[in-house]
Structure formats: structure tokens, C-alpha cells
Structure 1
Amino acid sequence: MSASAASRPEGSLEEQILSGLDDEQRQVATSLAGPLCVLAGAGTGKTRAITHRIAYGVHSGVYQPQRVLAVTFTARAAAEMRTRLRDLGVGGVQARTFHAAALRQLQFFWPQAVGGPLPGLLDHKASVIAEAARRLRLTTDRAAIRDLAAEIEWAKVSMLTPESYVRRAAGRAAPAGYDQTTVARLYQAYEDVKTDRNIIDFEDVLLITVGILQEDAKVAAAVRDQYRHFVVDEYQDVSPLQQRMLDLWLGDRNELCVVGDASQTIYSFTGATSRHLLEFTKRFPGADVVKLVRDYRSSPQVVQLANSLLAARTRQSSRGGDSWPTPLELIAQRPAGPEPTFTECADDEAEAAQVATRIRGLIDDGVAAAQIAVLFRTNGQSQAYEQALASAGIGYQLRGGERFFQRREVRDAILQLRASSRAAGTEPVPQLVRDVLANLGYTREAPQAGGAVRERWESLAALVGLAEELDAVRGSAAGGVFTMPEFVAELDERAAAQHAPTVQGVTLASLHSAKGLEWDAVFLVGLSEGLMPISFADTDEAVDEERRLLYVGITRARQHLGLSWSLARTPGGRANRKPSRFLDGLRPASSSSVRSVSGQRPARRKQAAPAVCRVCGTLLGSGAERKVGRCHNCPPTYEESTFEALREWRKDTASNASMPAFVIFTDATLVAIAEARPQSLPELSKLAGVGPAKLERYGEDVLRILAAN
């Protein structure tokens, strides 16, 4: 800790900011002068460390908030960082993506550096690439245009012109089957079309801003005067173009803090490189280096598997010229959890079915659907899991599908919330939000219907959950005042950044899109050769990146982790697949817990008798009905005061833990508890929705409330 930190009184605001940080995080937070390199493993609290560093620097008077620029790689991550900084009392700090920061500077300096109006910004390259192909009389389809767009983006972030592309692209896979000379011609035609239309793309935003900063000394001086301290998150993902911009922002100064993990470099195909992170101390001799290795996210079992995956590759590093950097070895801080499971299935359909079955079991044990994810290598694998979850009556959300804030019900909700905020009373914000959204169909209990009705309800429930979460952090529970106008402003900011709240439903996502996220339970599926590693990973470097991608997938899990693969693509198909080479040495010798290695399916489980209402004897249809053992037509048999006492306890517990109330127990589970009135932990454990983890965490509190009521 710095001398200034040691001299602060223990109860000061600065000391409060440092409280709760471990020794290494505190070292990051109190190292206010650059250069600083933070090597942060997955789940080690890197965002917490750097946001507290910024807050400590501002509150101690070392930083001026308007002169700090924090840069990250996704709009969602930037929005999350702004939220955390605001909660720490330093809302004036700029937290942006590289593109957002460059665009803001370009819009401001364009008139004086170039003159005239700024060209229009191109959202998608497809139409322009299609036009460029037509000019060259090239035949393209949607897949070819996608591949060509990705290649042009790589070339531009690598700062290659159409003329220099051919030489540098030698050895790269031919996009859409075109040779490098043809791609270079298309690249030039693409640039010509943009010029004719007076538009620029996202890469141009960085390129033009870099050009202005290089050529105009006054502009460069103005930017360097505005920003004195820089923080770059996910530094292993910077491209040469982004690094060039960062260099120009810095000038000859070294007030820079970078945070990254070379083992999570998974975007090399976009031009990202961990070289800048790994060579940071060469560029800045004497730079402080802090390693964050205490994993607060995952159970020891998950952490051990992640470490073993990287260690298996590290043992191969004796070969000459190997560039595999020594990975950080994570140290688990959470209590022990279940062992990861390895499941071999007969075919893709069987694999999806067993995953859906296991997910149903987790949900019945009290794991929220929003805390479960199915991750795969390619988006084309999602269909089987969509069908399996739908057949099992389990809601899901496809990450990368329709954006949350573009949904009609969400847009309508924000309009009504904005209107109501002008005349909001003194009621807590969550209750006001519930009242407003009730007009749009929100109810405390989820509807029994599925499809569009359920999806609409889940969108509205996500807004209510966000209101509860923010009120717990900023409202009366935190000793502050959280108002309806502030909630609407938060929604507007999140909509601009596409920072969606948590939607109740299992997440289906590609491994790449899962970066930066985490869930209680993760299923890594399709782990067979050809998919993991992917078939076109035909170099040592590409295979290494696939290993890192699987590492990222493993470290998304907090407690439950399932890894699976199938022997055939279709039922009855030829069983010619093999499990991923990355699983060698990780999976038990006999790892076929659901399907035999021969591909023969085991006998089906004996199905349980249909659940019926304990009052009238009718079949129970919904999960909520099965939890309480009573249909919705029969009257409840609990004391209202008992149910309200349980709800009040849940609200307080959720506020103290800064989590939505339904994560503790759903309303249906509270009803089941109030009606059954269990007298012991074994009796409580028999109720649906009360799994072992929740029993251990909340069981004694629940029994105490029941005894008092």
C-alpha cells in the first residue's frame, strides 16, 4: 500500500473503498501512478480492482474524474464499468469502448481538422461489399460476403491498405475461396464505394482519428490535456490499430494501467493479439506488475479443471520456438462444489435431450433458469438445444438474437415508465415499476402459457428485477435515495449501450459471445474433434486458440459444469466422431455417464407418476403448481402472515446480497414453504425449489421464521 493510503483514517471514504479487497486487489487499487500491468485470471475480480483503483484515485485527490479514460472492448462491459464507478461515487469518469471514445473525438475535432460535415457511419458492411463485388463482376452469396467483411476488418485493424494486404495475408486461409489478390481488389473497390457514398465504417473511425492525432499537433495536445490517466481492460484483445491510438493518446507519458490475461486471447481472427500485454514490461521497464489469481467465481472443482486444461498444453512447451506463455494458475476461493461431469452421447439429438433433462433437474432444485447456460462452438449447433428445451417446457434466450431493448414490449414499457416518472410518488421504485408494468401484462407469477406470452412476461420481469437490483444498491437499503427518474435514465443509458438486464431463461450462446459472462451452471456441448478444436484450426497457433476458447468456456461456470460430446450427428448415423483431444487426461477413464461408448442408448428411466392437486385431484400443468402441490383454482392453505414474513425475509436477504429476490426463492417456493410448514431441515429439503445449496444457506432462517409465525 502507498504511504498516502497508510496515513488515511480507518473510517475514511478512501478506506471504505479499499475495504473488501484482497491483498492483490488492494495493491492494484493503491498503485495510482503508472505504468501498471495487472495480470488477472478469470473470476479474480479484475473489474472490481480497477474500478476501485479509479475511485480511490479520485476520492484521494490524485485523479480528476474528467481526466480519466477507462477503455474496454464491448459496449456492455463499458456500461457495467460506468455503473460500478457511479455506485462508487465517481460518475464523471469516462468509460467507453475504443470505438466510442474515438468517435466522440472524431465528431468534436473533424470540423477544425478536416472541415465540413462528418461522413455518415456505416452500420453493416454487407451492402457495400455486395456492391464492390458487382463492380468487379464477382459472384458472392451471404456466407461469402460475411467472410469477406471479416477479412477486410482484419486488414484494417492490422493497418493494412489494399496494396500492403497481399504480402501480409500470405498464409492466411482464403476467405470465401478467393485468393489474396482478388481480396485486395475487392478491398479497394469497397473503399471506392464508401467514398462514392460519403460514408465511413467503424474501422475508419479509428483510422481517421489516428491520422488526425498524428498529423495535427494541436488536436493531439488537446486530447492529451483532456485525459491524463488511462485504464485499458481486456488488454490481451487489443489490435495494432487500437494500440496505435492508445500510443497517440499517451504521447510521451506513462500514466497507463492495463489489465488482461493471455490465456483468454480468443479473438486473434479479428486482429487481436496478446503481444502488447506480454511485452508490456519491455516497453515500460520498471513497470509494476500485479497478478490476480484468487478465483472468486468458480468452485475448486471447476478451477482445477481449468488449470489442468492449460497445464496439459504447457507441458508441450518444450518444443523449439513455442510461443505458449506461462498461464496464471488460479486458486479457488469458493466452497467445494460438484465434480464436472463428462457425458458421451449416441448423437446430437441425444446429447441435447440429456442436457435438457439435467437443466430441468437443476431448475427443480432451485437454480434459476437465467443462471444456466449452454455454450457451443458454432451458432449452427443451437437448433438442437432450442428444440430440446422447448420440448421440455424450459424457456431460453438465444444470445445474439433480437436485442432486448428492441423488443416492442420493452420499448412500450420504457415509454410508460418515463411518463410515470414525471409524477412519481414516494413509493419505492420497484413497487412503482410493478404498478406501471401491470398495465402491460406484468404479474408476480409467471404465466402458464409459453411462446410469445411467456417471452413478453420475461421481458417485463427483467425490468422489475433490474429495478429491485438497483434499488438495493442505490436506494434505501443502501442508505441512499433511488428515484424513478434515475431508473428511467439508467434504462436509457443501458439501451444506448445494449446493456440488457437478466432475462429469466436458459442462455444459449457461442463460446465467443460468452466471454465476460458467468452462470451458476454451464453446459459445454459438442466437444468432439472437428468442433473443438474446429476443423479449420490447422496450425499450432490456431489449435492453441481453440484450447483457450474452451478454457474461457470452463471458467464461465460458478458451480455446475457439464462437458459432453456425441459419436454421431444424427440418430442411427455412423458413430465416427471422437471426443476432443483437449479432454485427454481430463475426463475419467470411463466417462460415458449417460450414453455408452458403443452408441447404444440405455434403458429409459421409469417415469414418475403425473403430479396431481392434493385438494381436487386434477393434473398439475405448470412448474409453479407442481411446486406447491395445488392447482391455481384451489384456495391456498397458508397463513397470510407467514407468507408475508417469508417475503420480507427474502427481500432483506436479497438486498444485503445485492441480488434479485427471486434468486433466493421464487414466490411459488415461498408458497410451498408456507403451506407445508416443515419443522426440520430434512422436511424442508423435500420441497421443490429447495436444493442442497439453498438448504445450507437459508434453511435455518426459514425454520426460524416458521417457528415465529
Structure 2
Amino acid sequence: MVNMDIKELWKEYNITLDDKKQELVSELQHPLLINGTTGSGKTFLLLARNAYLMKVEEVSPTAILNLVHDPAIAKRVAKDYRYLYCDDEQMPSFVDMHSFAYRVIRFHDKTIQRESCKAYRDMEKVIRRLVKDMFALELTGLQLRRLQRQISTCRSMMMSEREIAAINFEGMDFPAFMKAYAKFKNDRNIYDQDDILCECARILMSTPAVLQTFAARYQYVHIDDAQELSFVAHVIIKLLFSSDAQLMMLADRDQCLDLDKAAYPQALDSFADTYTEARIERLEGNWRNNQTITALANEFLYKQEAGMQCSSEETCEVKFKGFAQLERMYEYALRMVVEDESDIAFLYHDAALAMPLLELFMQHQVPFHFHGSVKKFLQEPLVKDLCNIIELLIDPKDMRAFYEVYEKLGFDISKKVLLEVAERLRDDESVDVYQAMMESSYRAAGKKKLAASMENIRMASTLETHTMITFILDKLGYRARLLKANILMSESSLLALRVIAARYHDPAQFLNRLREMGEFLCEPVSRIQLRSVASARGMEFSRVALLDCLGSTFPRAGLQEEELQLERRLFFTGITRAKHQLEFFTSKRCDLTRLEISPFLYELHAPKEEEAKSAGERPVPQPKKLKENNLKRGMRIRHATLGEGRIVKISEGMMHVQFTSELKILNIRHCITNELIDRA
């Protein structure tokens, strides 16, 4: 392509940039940190910068490296560049940080003729299995996320064994776990994501030849979403690109969403000290959202502080949709896509609550794109347990299902008895697992307990799916098991199963439908998208509906302060994906299970109540303001994150509250000042 000047570039590709962005695009003298709020055009600037370098400065694309947060974003940004600028074969490199680090490792290993360890992105199953084997613990979703975050923090902060030895973690020997986890990976020659970054940093610090090779390879380095980089990632970037490369980082501290991978945004505070002659700039304006959505987002996240400055004059009506039953919510979502054929994104925080909508779209043959994994949902311990127990109730001769759940059903059976039961089933096809247990060497007390419940178990095989799930919870003791693990009836996976179960009365048909969902291939591109709020970062949609605005889901219950702040940023991200239309969905009940409205909706809806009334919308009920002298022993209250509980004692400004699964001591003034409690 013939070389052009910068004005010709913008004219040729019909690109409009304000004066500041044009100046930043062509800044080639100083390391740049560009801060900006959501919608300020950071990624658009990054793409324009690439085009400027190649088409005006005639820089080879092989000398340009663009680092982004994850592989999906890398593909999306590359696609956007190709759409805007790529009229020839020249394409710069867009890659996520872990893939780039793995390139360094493979290059190094090839030079010393060593086979590189395989890289794995998802180690959830391994972590769950190790914890269960070592500590006899079944991790909840929240516990798993916290453990993964702690693992990532240790590795990404490059902690010593001594530092790790001082860490206490939720009822387990964390240092022992870390040693077992490391041994598991070493024995199999595999890396997790944190290992990749740590090994890359080690190689760069210990092997000058590799460092020089990669430092010389890239002349221009751009990093989008720099607030998500971990400490060790910053170490790698500093080692490689602090001297000769022209570095540009783009960041939004309010969009730091990946604490699970030990994001370390604090490193940006020392950018000017780290990089010689650094320049720090800020982009103003929100070019994505209209006035109404911008004002709502500002009120939610920034409160009285200066927030985003809207560049649009458009307004819209924000809808708060409350449903008496959860199933009605999904039916309404189906009507939305049938009656209006414009683009829409249904965003969720918990993937489980997207499953009933996904199933409904499949049922009605509505084409959609799902950015997630149904198989991962089906592998959730609660989902697997209930499905296996249903399998066993349908077919009491199913030894596989029995083996999976006998412990969950309270059968304290030795391996010897299990072998006897399996052998008896093989020898006589007319015998089921219960008969085989009664004929085995299973202890007398266990047989007596089994005999007492046999009639109920036999009758359960004739129940409809929805009733069978209730039977499992109440008659087979599974509810008590969940509560012991601090899992409430409002758990997202359980809600999703109950909604889908109500659509398929035959248990066998229900299980078959779940298998079909696991094998279903959605559309690669569609006007209808189901995706997590986190995965929608950097994207925009004409219409957005936030699916799971429930008190147990968004924010998740039982969070620590840092986690709660992350939930706020995620909710803010969901709001700011909408360009023209925004709706929030919540529900009062799922069957007989009472659901709480997200406290985030209370915050958002308060200033909009009069507008909602005038527009004919039913306003979400507002919490009654409590005063300290209103609180009495025996009174039921609702806490923003802990749910519903009863006050059992009040003393010296503190109240003892019995929640469903735990007793908490709370500071009354703190709860009232921060509007954390209201009347139940």
C-alpha cells in the first residue's frame, strides 16, 4: 500500500478522532499511560494507533505487539481492526498476556532442546478433587473462587515458601495444599495460568539471550485493559519493554474485574517512576451510552464524585421488571426477542441462571449465541448430585449413579460393601441396589434405616420431575446436606434446575433434555447473545437486559468488602454495555422459594421511582428505613449480603443475628449508616 499522511489515513478509512486522540496516536517519544472511563474510546484509539504506525510511519506489523486481557478479547479486537483498516494482508499481532508468555517459554525450551509443559486454563476440577481428597471438603462456588484467587495471589506476587506458610485459609492447611497442587502439576508436566507467567519471568531474569531476543523483536507495544495485569505480568513487561520499545498502556481502574487472577492495578500508580520520561494522559467523554444510562451508571458507581461525561443527547426509559415467579421472567425474555428483532444481549452474573433461557430458546428454535459452557454447569456438584439421584430413583439398578451419590444420601458404606453390591447386581439382573445392600454385610443399623425409607424411595420413582426434586431435598436429606455446606435454596444452580424441571414432567425426559443442552451448538454469530457480564467487557449492544438481579446472585451472598466492591464494578459494567435500551430483571419467588431483590436495584431504582410510575411501570418496592431504636430481639431483618435472619440479642451497639446457616455479630450503626439492613 502507498504511504499516506495522517489526514489521508482518517479520510481513507472514514475515522473521526478528536484533537487529543489524534495527538496521542502519533506520540512516539514517551511511554504512555492513557486512563479513561468506559466508553471513552481507549480500544478505538489503540486500533487507530496500529493503523497509523503501519500506514503512515510504515512500521512492519511484526514490530508491533498488542497485548490484551484474554484470548476472546484478542480475537474480537483483531476482528475489529480487520473490519476498520485491513484492506491488505498486513495485520498486527493481537495476543493475550498468557499466550505471549507461553511463546517466550517455548522459544527458550526449544533452544535447550526441552519439551515444554502443557498449558491448562481451567484447573477447577483438579483443585476440587485435591481439596476433597486432602481435607474431605466439598467446595462451594464462592469457596472455590476464593481459593483460586489465593493460589493466584501467591504465584503472581512471587511469594516465598515462608510467606505462603503464614497463610490461613478457610479450614484447610493451605501450605500443604499448595505443595500437593505443585506436585500434581510437576508429576504431569503441566502449567496453570499463573505458572506460565512465573516461568516466563524466571526465564527472562535468568537467560539474557532470550530477554534480548524478545526485547529486540517488538518496537511498539500496546497493552489494553492494563488494570488487569498481575504483579508478575508487570515484571515481565518491565523486563522486556522498559528501555527501547515505545510502550502504550490503556487502563480504566473502575473496570478492574479480574481479582481471581490477582490483578494488580496498583502498579499503574508508579508508571512514571518505572518508565523514563513517561507521559500520563486521560480520555474524557462517554461515546457509548446515552444520557439516561450514563446518569444511572454515574449515580451507581461514582455517587457524588465526577463520573463519566456523556457525549450523546439521546435519552431512554430504563425498565425495572419484577416477576412474581422466576419462570415468568424467562417467558418475558422470549417475548422480547420474538416481538422486536433488533440486537439484544442478555447478560448474567451467574451462568446457571442463563440455562432456563437457553433451554427456552432451544425449545422455540430461536437462534442465539451463548458465550459460555453448558457442560460446566452440568458438572457443578449440586447439579451432578441431583441428576445422579434422579437417575437412581428412575432406575434403582444403576450402580454408576449409586456409586456417585451413596455418600450424599447418608449411606456410610465401606468399599467391601460396595463391591458386594456391585457383584450382586452383576449376578442377578432382577436385584436392585437396595436389595443388594440388604443382603450384603452392611451393618444392621444401616439396614434398619434403609428399610424404613424403602417405601418412600419406591414411590418416588413415579413422581413428576419437579416433585421428585422436592422429595430428594426433603425426604432424602439433601436439603440438610446443602445447608450444612452453607448452600441455600436460592442457590442459582438449584433455581435453574427447578425452572427447567417444571417444563419436563417426566424425569427421564428432563435428564435427556439436560444432555441435549450440553451437546447443543449455538450460532457463532447472532443478534441475540447470552453472555456473562465479565465477558461483555469492551463490548456494546443496542439493548441489554441484566438477567439475575437477585439478592443471592448480584451481589453474591456472604462476600468480603473487597469482593463486594468487585461486584459493584461488574454491575456497573453490565449497565454500561447498553447503548440505547436497558432493562433489569428480578423475581420474588421460584416456586415456593422466596427470592430477594438485589440491593443494587434498590440503589438504582430509588431516584427513578416517580418516573417509573408515570411511565406505567410497577416500581420495585423500596426498603423501609430503619433506626437503631427500631431494632428488637426476635425481629426479622434482611441483610444486603447475608440474607434474612432473626435478631437473637442486642448489646452495646452490637446485634447477634441468626441467619439460615450461621450466627453473625453485626455493628448496628455500621449496618444502618450503610443501609445494609431492612425489615424482612
Offset, 1:555: 1.0
Residue of structure 1 equivalent to 2:308: 329
Q: 1:372·1:520 contact (CA, 8 Å) conserved in 2?
A: yes
Residue of structure 1 equivalent to 2:299: 308
Residue of structure 1 equivalent to 2:94: 95
Residue of structure 1 equivalent to 2:604: 583
Q: 2:10·2:16 contact (CA, 8 Å) conserved in 1?
A: no
Range with greater deviation from structure 2 (86-95 or 48-57): 86-95
Offset, 1:247: 1.0
Residue of structure 2 equivalent to 1:532: 554
Q: 1:262 aligns with which of 253, 257, 272?
A: 253
Q: 2:351·2:372 contact (CA, 8 Å) conserved in 1?
A: no
**CA 120–142 in structure 1, closer or farther in 2 if over 3 Å, else same:** farther
Residue of structure 2 equivalent to 1:562: 583
Q: Secondary structure at the residue paired with 1:295?
A: coil
**CA 327–269 in structure 1, closer or farther in 2 if over 3 Å, else same:** farther
CA distance in 2 between counterparts of 1:453 and 1:141 reads 27
When the two chains are superposed, the root-mean-square deviation of aligned CA atoms in Å is: 3.7
Offset, 1:590: 6.9
Offset, 1:385: 3.0
Q: Is 2:355 the partner of 1:338? A: no
- Kindly provide the amino acid, as one letter, of the partner of residue 36 in structure 2: A
**CA 53–588 in structure 1, closer or farther in 2 if over 3 Å, else same:** same
Residue of structure 1 equivalent to 2:183: 192
The CA deviation string for residues 539-587 of structure 1, in whole angstroms up to 9 with x for no partner, is 1x33322221111001111211012322x23245547646434325443
**CA 135–361 in structure 1, closer or farther in 2 if over 3 Å, else same:** closer
Residue of structure 2 equivalent to 1:495: none
- Kindly provide the amino acid, as one letter, of the partner of residue 376 in structure 1: Y
- Kindly provide the amino acid, as one letter, of the partner of residue 71 in structure 1: L
- Kindly provide the amino acid, as one letter, of the partner of residue 237 in structure 2: L
- Kindly provide the amino acid, as one letter, of the partner of residue 229 in structure 2: V
Range with greater deviation from structure 2 (511-520 or 343-352): 343-352
Normalising to structure 2: TM-score of the pair? Answer: 0.62
Q: 2:67·2:95 contact (CA, 8 Å) conserved in 1?
A: yes
Q: 1:346·1:571 contact (CA, 8 Å) conserved in 2?
A: no
Q: Is 2:350 the partner of 1:378? A: yes
**CA 155–591 in structure 1, closer or farther in 2 if over 3 Å, else same:** farther
Q: 1:202 aligns with which of 190, 193, 211?
A: 193
CA distance in 2 between counterparts of 1:132 and 1:246 reads 33
Q: Secondary structure at the residue paired with 1:569?
A: strand
Unaligned runs of 5+ in 1: 1-6, 316-325, 404-449, 463-500, 600-709
Offset, 1:230: 1.2
Residue of structure 2 equivalent to 1:50: 46
Normalising to structure 1: TM-score of the pair? Answer: 0.59
Residue of structure 2 equivalent to 1:354: 332
CA distance in 2 between counterparts of 1:275 and 1:287 reads 17
CA distance in 1 between counterparts of 2:576 and 2:620 reads 27
Q: 1:553 aligns with which of 551, 569, 574?
A: 574
Q: Is 2:171 the partner of 1:178? A: yes
- Kindly provide the amino acid, as one letter, of the partner of residue 558 in structure 2: F
Q: Secondary structure at the residue paired with 1:332?
A: coil
Residue of structure 2 equivalent to 1:684: none
Q: 2:206 aligns with which of 206, 215, 219?
A: 215
**CA 391–188 in structure 1, closer or farther in 2 if over 3 Å, else same:** same
- 1:348-427 counterparts in 2 under 5 A? 348-363=326-341, 367=342, 371-386=343-358, 389=361, 394-401=366-373
- Kindly provide the amino acid, as one letter, of the partner of residue 185 in structure 2: K
Q: 1:234·1:259 contact (CA, 8 Å) conserved in 2?
A: yes
Q: Is 2:27 the partner of 1:36? A: no
Q: Secondary structure at the residue paired with 1:159?
A: coil
**CA 230–283 in structure 1, closer or farther in 2 if over 3 Å, else same:** same
Q: Secondary structure at the residue paired with 1:533?
A: coil
CA distance in 2 between counterparts of 1:94 and 1:598 reads 51
CA distance in 2 between counterparts of 1:359 and 1:231 reads 38
**CA 389–79 in structure 1, closer or farther in 2 if over 3 Å, else same:** closer
- 1:480-491 counterparts in 2 under 5 A? none
Residue of structure 2 equivalent to 1:700: none
Offset, 1:233: 0.4
**CA 531–131 in structure 1, closer or farther in 2 if over 3 Å, else same:** closer
CA distance in 2 between counterparts of 1:278 and 1:578 reads 33
**CA 151–61 in structure 1, closer or farther in 2 if over 3 Å, else same:** same
- 1:201-280 counterparts in 2 under 5 A? 201-253=192-244, 255-280=246-271
**CA 83–524 in structure 1, closer or farther in 2 if over 3 Å, else same:** closer
Offset, 1:289: 3.3
Residue of structure 2 equivalent to 1:22: 18
Offset, 1:203: 2.1
The CA deviation string for residues 298-348 of structure 1, in whole angstroms up to 9 with x for no partner, is 222222222222232xx3xxxxxxxxxx66513233x52422112233242
Residue of structure 2 equivalent to 1:106: 105
Residue of structure 1 equivalent to 2:539: 517
CA distance in 1 between counterparts of 2:517 and 2:259 reads 39
CA distance in 1 between counterparts of 2:241 and 2:340 reads 50
Q: 2:146·2:260 contact (CA, 8 Å) conserved in 1?
A: no
**CA 57–39 in structure 1, closer or farther in 2 if over 3 Å, else same:** same
Offset, 1:191: 0.9
Q: Is 2:171 the partner of 1:157? A: no
Offset, 1:78: 1.7
The CA deviation string for residues 476-515 of structure 1, in whole angstroms up to 9 with x for no partner, is xxxxxxxxxxxxxxxxxxxxxxxxx5235x3222222222
CA distance in 2 between counterparts of 1:376 and 1:10 reads 42
CA distance in 1 between counterparts of 2:293 and 2:584 reads 11
Q: 2:6·2:52 contact (CA, 8 Å) conserved in 1?
A: no
**CA 131–61 in structure 1, closer or farther in 2 if over 3 Å, else same:** same
CA distance in 2 between counterparts of 1:16 and 1:79 reads 25
Q: 1:41·1:330 contact (CA, 8 Å) conserved in 2?
A: no
The CA deviation string for residues 426-445 of structure 1, in whole angstroms up to 9 with x for no partner, is xxxxxxxxxxxxxxxxxxxx
Q: 1:347·1:570 contact (CA, 8 Å) conserved in 2?
A: yes
The CA deviation string for residues 21-53 of structure 1, in whole angstroms up to 9 with x for no partner, is 233321221223331122233233322211211
- Kindly provide the amino acid, as one letter, of the partner of residue 341 in structure 1: K
CA distance in 2 between counterparts of 1:107 and 1:588 reads 58
CA distance in 1 between counterparts of 2:100 and 2:542 reads 34
Offset, 1:188: 0.8
Offset, 1:8: 7.5
- Kindly provide the amino acid, as one letter, of the partner of residue 331 in structure 1: C
- Kindly provide the amino acid, as one letter, of the partner of residue 28 in structure 1: L
**CA 18–218 in structure 1, closer or farther in 2 if over 3 Å, else same:** farther
Residue of structure 1 equivalent to 2:119: 121
**CA 116–198 in structure 1, closer or farther in 2 if over 3 Å, else same:** same
Q: Is 2:530 the partner of 1:503? A: no
% identity of equivalent residues: 20
- Kindly provide the amino acid, as one letter, of the partner of residue 117 in structure 2: P
CA distance in 2 between counterparts of 1:532 and 1:133 reads 27
**CA 574–528 in structure 1, closer or farther in 2 if over 3 Å, else same:** closer
